[in-house]
Amino acid sequence: MNNIRSTIPDFPLTIRGIFEHGERIHAASEVATYAGEHIRRASYAQVGERVRRLAAGLGKLGIGPGDRVGTFAWNNQEHLEAYFAVPSMGAVLHCINIRLFPEQLIYIINHAADRIVIVDSSLVPLLAKFAGQLTTVERYIVIGEGGGLPRETLRYEDVLASAEPVRVWPEVAESAAAAMCYTSGTTGNPKGVVYSHRSTWLHAAAASMANSIGLTEDDKILPIVPMFHANAWGLPYSGWMCGADFLMPDRYMQAERIGRMIAAERPTVSGAVPTIWNEVLRYVDANGIDVSSLRCVVCGGAAVPRSMQEGFLNRHGVRVIQGWGMTETSPLAAVARPPRGTPKDQEIDWLNKSGRVVVGVELRLMSGEQELPWDGESVGEIEVRGPWVTSSYYLDDAPEKFHDRWLRTGDVGTVDAKGFIQITDRAKDVIKSGGEWISSMELENHLIAHPDVLEAVVIGVPDERWDERPLACVVMKPGAAATLEQLRDFLAARVARWWLPERWAFIAEVPKTSVGKLDKKVLRARYAKGEIGEVKVEKMG
């Protein structure tokens, strides 16, 4: 009696399974790619046939199970084809972050040991600069035309034409490696996370749930988040799984292009980091662009300013839903949908939380060895584990990040009884003033709500008396007149007195990381070199 077993055998959850489902069940759904002046369109059925050809072509070039195939590409149809072809044939997709520094790119491509790199023609000149130092790449496949790379270079369309479409896929275990991403390496070298078929499948399903992004065949997804940034947050897989149309922005990521794309093509769902949405909001506000087709804008990767969410909601009727996660968590771990019964006028309070933990992800709040209560007040470091949370890096030890399968996220915040997370800072960005913590993120969010402020970034700088104090750096909107004293007064009405920065600086622009987040490391270095002209603003106005 004790030895009862499930009558359902373990059936592998594979990317091939997602691919064939979409290809057959949603054959008429569309993948559109913005090409500057016009839009290229293909049905899932057509994309599917090309996926099969790409897999066969890669096979002819000697790619087999476990081999890494890199992509150095924008968000477009061909990149999506690689998303399915490479894992379905048992190889491993490595989406390379084109915005890393050359030394980091050389490091990650050699570290992942990519054998082939598929590259967009417009990115060939960038790749060519360091391709000579890539030790494992045997060939390049160029989408479009392009040469000048040190090894054999083939045209993507020729590779597709050279092979008969794969009809029978190899058996692939669900635990096999399917794709890999490197973190952007804010300290030291980037670290690789290797996703399995199973982790990708489950993450895609969890992201599609109505409690998360909530995707169906009626959706049209505009993934602005690059396909090399944590696999575009899984949108290619979850969208295909649900049969949604795709609108791929290719290299046209500027606010103006995005605004025009939204107005013309009317996507229902989109995802990008806050800096992008900020620019898009400014553009659509200034130009009267209709973005009302969007029913769900997913925003995360950094704290989402409430003022931006209010702008979209109040002026355009668009809900910006915040998500929280990291490359190590595939990335989606929490999504901030307002809980049941929330009155309309309080929705924004919930949308502005970092996220509500998604089923599958287990979370705890820690202070040293002690677990803290989920009371919405206790502040600790968030740890997570789950079926799509990594518990190590690829060929790289980081014992300080992992223990007993828990991932130490380095994010500090609170969790409430309903599982809503509020990140207050990254552990390394928290400002430690006189033994107390000041949230740089909260100061930034208040500052950016000032009508004259375009961007704001707050870092902790050394202080003799308090160890550290905040330095507020602001970029003003063109023609804005607010003084630093006025900005300080604006903050004074919103935060505790001892949080108020005494040190201020106007800066021309905020440095950004390779995925468009505020780059505090660069700002700290500039401050240390005395390159930031700080002003003392001590008296309240």
Q: Which residues bind ligand ADP (CB under 6 A)?
A: 183-184, 186, 230, 300-304, 322, 324, 326-327, 331, 354, 409-411, 423, 426, 515, 517
CB of 266 to ligand ADP, least distance (A): 26
* Set 20, 350, 437, 485: catalytic member: 437
What gap in Å lies between CA 430 and CA 438, rounded to an integer?
Answer: 6
What gap in Å lies between CA 504 and CA 216, rounded to an integer?
Answer: 47
* Set 432, 483, 498, 536: catalytic member: 432
Backbone CA torsion sign across 400, 402, 406, 408: positive
Residue 491 is encoded by which pair of tokens? 């903050």
Nearer to ligand ADP, 114 or 328 (CB): 328
Per DSSP, which regions of 23-157 are E strands?
30-34, 39-43, 68-72, 92-95, 114-120, 139-143, 152-155
183 as an active site residue: the answer is yes
Angle at 246 between CA 32 and CA 45, to 5 degrees: 75
* Set 33, 71, 183, 414: catalytic member: 183
Nearer to ligand ADP, 76 or 327 (CB): 327
CB of 514 to ligand ADP, least distance (A): 7
328 as an active site residue: the answer is yes
Q: Give kind and range of the element (H or E) at residue 431.
A: strand 431-433
Nearer to ligand ADP, 46 or 186 (CB): 186
CB of 298 to ligand ADP, least distance (A): 10
Give helix then strand counts, H and E, for the chain.
15, 28
Exposed (0-12), middle (13-18) or buried (19+): which is 369, by Cβ within 10 Å?
A: exposed
Q: Which of the 8 DSSP states describes residue 395?
A: T
b/e string for 440-460 if b means 16 or more Cβ within 10 A?
bbbbbbbbbbbeebbbbbbbb
* Set 81, 328, 444, 455: catalytic member: 328
CB of 453 to ligand ADP, least distance (A): 19
Nearer to ligand ADP, 16 or 356 (CB): 356
Nearer to ligand ADP, 67 or 411 (CB): 411
Nearer to ligand ADP, 322 or 433 (CB): 322
The letter for the amino acid at 384 is V
**How distant, in Å, are the alpha carbons of 298, 304, 327, 350, 415 from that of 355?**
11, 11, 16, 8, 10
216 as an active site residue: the answer is no
CB of 444 to ligand ADP, least distance (A): 11
- Torsion angle of the four alpha carbons 225, 228, 232, 238, in this order, in degrees rounded to the nearest 10: 160
CB of 326 to ligand ADP, least distance (A): 3
| Residues designated as active site | 183, 328, 432, 437
